[in-house]
Amino acid sequence: MHQAGEGLLRPEQTRVMVVANQKGGVGKTTTTVNLAASLALHGARVLVVDLDPQGNASTALGIDHHSEVPSIYDVLVENKPLSEVVQPVPDVEGLFCAPATIDLAGAEIELVSLVARESRLQRALEAYDQPLDYILVDCPPSLGLLTVNALVAGAEVLIPIQCEYYALEGLGQLLRNVDLVRGHLNRDLHISTILLTMYDGRTRLASQVAEEVRSHFGNEVLRTNIPRSVRISEAPSYGQTVLTYDPGSSGSLSYLEAAREIALRDPFAQQEQQSMAEGM
């Protein structure tokens, strides 16, 4: 069991962060599980909600998620309490996971006919009575009802962007969806964090993409980039995050630093300052 390391300031209230990018292969699940593990190793209590039917986040956290396991599907479709599906992650203290099973693939269709179909995850999270500092929701690479449930349940959107050609392509639709959900279903929703992944400092392309993303999103972009790393890619096949698989690797240290940056940004304090400024 890996113990929590140096503690960070804990947020005043639970921060619900939705990790989304409908483009596949950008390091979305990798980012979700490694940031969650990093925050837990810094002393936070963290829940990962796996909303992707592929269940890759559950696999990477070493959580059993075959079709008989109680999962987030049962919470969304069958109204099972979240507390009945959450499992502790075996090798990281303070880290928990609500797993996905393949049943979730049908949930997009089943949710259509249900009452309050967009806010079922929000209701489940609000009814969960265990103390948490962070909830990270790993979305499927699509903008259907599962992702909408995540956007209604969370206040912050974290977008991992791969340092490659067409890095910003397809983001327009995600940004429009965030605006739509903010306008109609969740006025607290905002893009709080952009994380550059698979960064290779030896290439001009990576620095060009990083520059483009920073000029587009400004302060939302973390200073820490996640490097392209074999260790990060290998870890999930051992049912681990890179933090426990190879704690001293560049990938592990980068995620720890990114988690520190996220923890130091208190969105609630920022919102208070903003509403005070608007009231003047």
Percentage of the chain exceeding pLDDT 90: 72
Q: What is the pLDDT of residue 199?
A: 92
Q: What is the pLDDT of residue 270?
A: 54
Structure tokens at 35: 């940031």
pLDDT digits (tens, 9 = 90+) for 129-165: 999 999 999 999 888 899 999 999 999 999 999 988 8
- Average pLDDT score, the chain: 90
Find the mean pLDDT for residues 229-250.
93
Q: What is the pLDDT of residue 271?
A: 52
Q: What is the pLDDT of residue 164?
A: 85
Percentage of the chain exceeding pLDDT 70: 92
Task: With a cut of 90, say whether residue 5 has pLDDT above it.
Answer: no
Q: What is the pLDDT of residue 25?
A: 75
Q: How confident is the model at residue 168 (pLDDT cuts 50, 70, 90)?
A: confident
Structure tokens at 249: 């690797």
Q: What is the pLDDT of residue 238?
A: 92
Find the mean pLDDT for residues 181-195.
95
pLDDT digits (tens, 9 = 90+) for 33-50: 999 999 999 999 999 999
pLDDT digits (tens, 9 = 90+) for 62-118: 998 888 899 999 999 999 999 999 999 998 999 999 999 999 999 989 999 998 999
Contact 8, 43 (CB under 8 A): yes
Structure tokens at 186: 């969740």
Q: Which domains does the chain possess? A: 15-272 (3.40.50.300)
Contact 136, 95 (CB under 8 A): no
Find the mean pLDDT for residues 183-204.
93
